Structure 1
Amino acid sequence: MQGQIANYSWTEELEKAVVNALSTSFGLDFLLFQDKVGGDVNTIHNVRQGVYATDEAKNAFANRPEYDSTAYHTHDNYKATGAHDKQQQQAGTLHDPYRNKTMGAGESRNLDHVISAYEVHNDPGRVLAGLSGVELANQSSNLQSTSETVNKSKKQKSVSSYLEGLPNLISQHQSSVAADEKRLAEMPRNSPQEKHEARVMEDRIASKKNKIKELESIDVKGMKKRDAEARAEYEKQIHDTYYQSKEFAKATTHAALNAGVNLGLRQALGLVFAEVWFELRTAIPRLVNEMKNDFSFTTFSKQIRDTLDAIWQRVTAKFADIVSAFRTGATAGFFGNIQNTITNIFKTTSKQSSKIIRELWVHVIGAIKLAIFNPEKLELVPLCQALVAMLSTGVAVVLGTLLHGYLLPLCTFPLGDEVAAFLSALATGIATVGLNYFLIYSPFAQKLWHRFAMSMPYAQDVQKFREINASLDKYLEDYSKLEFNMDADDLFMFAFDLKECNSELERNIVLRAQLEKQNVEVPFEMGNLASTKGFLKSLIK
């Protein structure tokens, strides 16, 4: 354990981490990706926030037709619903959920668009889905008969906005009534004209009091419930239409494939550039040292050719790794972009969020591939350590990305972007090395990993057999150094006899005969099971 910690090369690991970060996350990433707020695909949530992924969708909303009140209030279903509700009102069965009461036959009734026609017409989500505002506004779920006072005071407001201003509206009416009553008290009633004006004022006050009564009778919970029902149906139609459309599927697939190819290229080229750097790092100092005292163009040209050849050999040797890096990046880019699009259905992502999602997917896909395929055939504990190292690198990249977002506004001087990228890559490298050491190589982590290994079923037995196997390997190594007095014919016959054996007993006889013939001493008695077990037990003492 201590040897593993002592052999941990801080400088080498830090260099690898920084070079990898510079060549991928903070280098090629900014050339291959143009991250933007809201991602690469239009969503209903985003366009309602004024965030568009394409100019086409943005222009479609900007160039929508002007609101036409007549078209919204002369729709066939609007007129049919009004006629139907009129019959119910006359029959005394028309319920008004806004006030939670049955409307009287003599009440002034209006047909209200629960979600106002004006709001429907100017909804960016509706325009994105390509649905008719007139049809949506005049579906039965969005039409509600109520008092004329309530409908006309609601106007084009949403229910939530209307209810928020309702107390102030009632207060205004009450103030107006108080002013009219004061004016009425001061009005003379001597001539017929003065008496008529007083009666007009009395009727006006009575009308206002009736309005106040109707406004005060509004059932806030009932009105909100009716609004929620209308909006649920409205939102369902818009979301189902858009998110099940070919246009959305096409845009999502195109964006995901494009992101996959770009991220695959980033990972593959990043690996190539890293290999080029590691070769140049040793070649350049050697070249400078050889040329500084006795410069020769011929020698210089040869050294350059040798360096380029070494780079080519190094890169081609990594071809399988480069292809694997491309596949991992392409898969991560594809799924990362899809996740980004799904996230934007509910919440608008920032540029930084898009990059973080992408970086996390790179390491998640890498971890999944490692866990499933385990190309190096690692045992459980080393495999878990490799997975932890990979995921901790992802965390380090996220921290570096956050730092980069913080540094960019501060680095406004020339080459400020490059300085921010380098500092972020350096921080990523330090975080990577630090996390890997803490989670894998630190004394505390080593104790945890040892306990984990020992907690596995048959862990102690496996460890004993490993020790036995190591001892047997040593014996075999010692025996391999012995010179057996066997010519080629004897060796051939010995191998033939072993091959012809049909049981362990026959093999035992052949081996014992050969050992006696060669005068080889073994530390146990051939054919004696107790002696063999005793020898194996002695290996683990």
Structure 2
Amino acid sequence: MIDNKELINDYELLENDLKEISQREQLKININQNLEEALQELKNIETQLPKEQSKKLFEQCTQNALDAITSHFGLAAIVLDSQDGGNVSTTHNARKDIYANENDKQQYEKREKYCSKKYHNGEYNKINNKLKKEIEEGRLYDYATGKMIKPKDNTQLDHVVSAKEIHEDRARILANADGVSLANTPQNLKKTDAKINNFKRDNSATKTLEKLEGQIQILTEKEIKNGKLSLKDQKNIERLLDMQCKIDGEKFIEEYNHQKKHIDSEIDKIYYTSLKPYKEALITGAKDSTKMIVYSALGMILRDFFKSLMIEIRKTFKEFGNESFSDIFKRFKDRIHYIWDDIKKKWKNIFASSLEAGIQAFLSNLVVFAINTIFTTLKRIVQVIRAGFTSLYNAIKIIINPPKDMPKEDIYFEAAKIFTAGIIASLTMLGSEAINKWLITIPGLNVLLSLPIPFTSETIGDAISLSISAAFGAIVSTIVIFYMDKWKNNSKIGNLRLQLVTQSGVILNCKIAQTWLMLDDAYIFLTHAINSIKEKNLILQNNLTQELNTYKKMDEERKTKISNLKKKILDLKELHD
């Protein structure tokens, strides 16, 4: 009968053996998989190593200079309308007598004449009566002196920001805002000493104090010069000194600035909540967009034409003397046919690029308008902003819609390169004015350079100077980008080489692990072979032992039979004898 304990032990041993075999096989699978992944990763890293640049720096500079001349940094700046203050009138610029169009300027020139009665009536009288009651109740202060007003004091109701100043405000006229409503508010109408109000008249607080100081200075110098003043001048200087003593200059100016800021903000609110500026922005933006679409399409076609033409010209010089005139003519004719066929093939790309350039021109017009609500941009600054916006647009575009499989850090680096190149090229446009002035000084060129370019407000000199500055900017930006790429590549190569070393270590470890597993398999096989031989030897030994025992037994039987036979022979012999 088989023992149950022995069966259980044999089962457990078998289970452990199977478990060990399973773990070893899984380990082999994992090592092989890791090795395969490591080799693939090594291959991927090697493909990421930057390749040697195919174009030389000189060729890149030449190409980029040509592109810059035909882009927003060069001749496109001539096509787009650029002027001080941008293409849309703003309240900020209007106050500086800068208008985007003649209609807005004429609106100011044809303004209604100032009428004092209109501003000192209606709401003005209501507020005046209300303040008189507050004076009688002893709770009103003079805004210029800061002192409480007594019922017997000679006071007047003053426009803190004068009615005439509001009426003549260019921004108010641009916004078509009602001057009376802006001037006659409780905030802008304050009681003050009658002498101060009569002296202030239409001036601001600062100018009033300057005027007061100036008149006192004149009379003082007059007294020093003549030794004394006339009775009239003496009374006048006493009146002025009394006013100067009464006025709280800091409070006086602070109140004026506060009310001026409030009125300006109200005018801005009226203007920028109307449709007028946005309608102008849309119209001027659409005009610029249309111009840019047409120019961009023509520019790309002409660029391809001139590039091909330069190839043929270089070839003509190279083969000079080896070709007939008819051969040269035929070659140029074939080249033109090739260019035309190429343009027909890629007309969709040309249209898409032109449309995108038009969108950029439209958006840059809005950007210039927004900036001019706060700052006044000069003509060249407008061109810089529009060109710089194009670079910003392209930089954002590559971040939002990057090429497939491009690493994130490379995306931001490419965007930085585009933006850097744009900023450099944009800033060099500022030098076009100086270049233009220098070109005009060249004898014989001033007349030609002063000729206007049709359908634009620019001259030939403006176009040439912008082209020179654009080409220079492109060369500088190309050199900067070249060294940015070089720095990036060197850094990337260093990191990738470090990754290669690390990955090589992973591969080496995987291969060592594979070797050990193979050696272990060989050891196990050898162990099994030895054990098998031992088992066979044991069986053979047992068989030999059995055969030997059989032989011994047979030998004993033989000996016994021989002994018996001898005994019988002896018995027979004795019997015979």
Compare 359-368 and 147-156 and name the one that shifted more.
359-368
The answer to whether the Cα contact below 8 Å between 1:291 and 1:300 also exists between their aligned partners in 2 is no
Alpha-carbon separation, structure 2, partners of 1:258 and 1:124: 27
- Aligned pairs for 1:2-401 (under 5 A) are 4=51, 7-25=54-72, 27-73=74-120, 75-170=121-216, 209=238, 212-286=241-315, 295=324, 297=326, 299=327, 302-319=330-347, 321-375=349-403, 377-401=405-429
> Which of 436, 439, 449 is residue 411 of structure 1 equivalent to?
439
Alpha-carbon separation, structure 2, partners of 1:166 and 1:453: 76
Q: CA RMSD in A?
A: 3.8
SS in structure 2 at match of 1:101: coil
Compare 302-311 and 350-359 and name the one that shifted more.
302-311
Identity among equivalent pairs (%): 22
Q: CA deviation at 1:332?
A: 2.3
- The letter of the residue matching 2:499 is Q
Any stretches of 5+ residues in structure 2 without a counterpart? 1-47, 450-460, 519-577
* Normalised TM-score (structure 1): 0.73
> Which of 486, 499, 512 is residue 460 of structure 1 equivalent to?
499
Higher-Rg member (1/2): 2
The answer to whether the Cα contact below 8 Å between 1:24 and 1:266 also exists between their aligned partners in 2 is no
SS in structure 1 at match of 2:439: coil
- The letter of the residue matching 1:29 is A
Q: CA deviation at 1:328?
A: 3.5
Q: CA deviation at 1:112?
A: 0.6
The answer to whether the Cα contact below 8 Å between 1:359 and 1:394 also exists between their aligned partners in 2 is yes
Q: Are the structure 2 counterparts of residues 134 and 215 from structure 1 closer, same or farther at C-alpha, using a change threshold of 3 Å? A: same
What residue in structure 2 maps to residue 430 of structure 1?
475
- The letter of the residue matching 1:363 is S
The answer to whether the Cα contact below 8 Å between 2:384 and 2:427 also exists between their aligned partners in 1 is no
Alpha-carbon separation, structure 1, partners of 2:299 and 2:499: 43
The answer to whether the Cα contact below 8 Å between 2:75 and 2:466 also exists between their aligned partners in 1 is no
- The letter of the residue matching 1:50 is D
- The letter of the residue matching 2:103 is E
What residue in structure 1 maps to residue 32 of structure 2?
none
SS in structure 2 at match of 1:389: helix
Alpha-carbon separation, structure 2, partners of 1:530 and 1:399: 67
SS in structure 1 at match of 2:187: helix
Q: CA deviation at 1:220?
A: 1.6
Q: Deviation string for 1:8-55 (max 9, x for gaps)? A: 512321121111012224653154223111110001111111111110
Q: CA deviation at 1:123?
A: 0.8
Alpha-carbon separation, structure 1, partners of 2:361 and 2:236: 66
Alpha-carbon separation, structure 1, partners of 2:434 and 2:92: 27
SS in structure 2 at match of 1:346: coil
Alpha-carbon separation, structure 2, partners of 1:462 and 1:112: 84
Alpha-carbon separation, structure 2, partners of 1:178 and 1:11: 76
Q: Are the structure 2 counterparts of residues 400 and 391 from structure 1 closer, same or farther at C-alpha, using a change threshold of 3 Å? A: same
SS in structure 2 at match of 1:411: helix
What residue in structure 2 maps to residue 480 of structure 1?
none
Q: CA deviation at 1:91?
A: 2.3
Alpha-carbon separation, structure 1, partners of 2:316 and 2:342: 18
Alpha-carbon separation, structure 2, partners of 1:266 and 1:451: 45
Alpha-carbon separation, structure 1, partners of 2:345 and 2:410: 25
The answer to whether the Cα contact below 8 Å between 1:264 and 1:326 also exists between their aligned partners in 2 is yes
Q: CA deviation at 1:158?
A: 0.8
Q: Does 1:446 align with 2:480?
A: no
What residue in structure 1 maps to residue 572 of structure 2?
none
Any stretches of 5+ residues in structure 1 without a counterpart? 185-200, 469-522, 532-541
Alpha-carbon separation, structure 1, partners of 2:397 and 2:492: 22
Aligned residues: 450
Q: Deviation string for 1:241-292 (max 9, x for gaps)? A: 0011111111122223333333344444333332222222222343566685
Q: CA deviation at 1:119?
A: 0.9
Alpha-carbon separation, structure 2, partners of 1:313 and 1:266: 21
- The letter of the residue matching 1:460 is Q
Q: CA deviation at 1:64?
A: 0.9
Alpha-carbon separation, structure 2, partners of 1:20 and 1:313: 22
The answer to whether the Cα contact below 8 Å between 2:68 and 2:470 also exists between their aligned partners in 1 is yes
Alpha-carbon separation, structure 2, partners of 1:285 and 1:143: 79
Alpha-carbon separation, structure 2, partners of 1:269 and 1:149: 70
Q: CA deviation at 1:208?
A: 7.0
Alpha-carbon separation, structure 2, partners of 1:285 and 1:182: 91
Alpha-carbon separation, structure 1, partners of 2:302 and 2:399: 27
Q: Are the structure 2 counterparts of residues 176 and 9 from structure 1 closer, same or farther at C-alpha, using a change threshold of 3 Å? A: closer
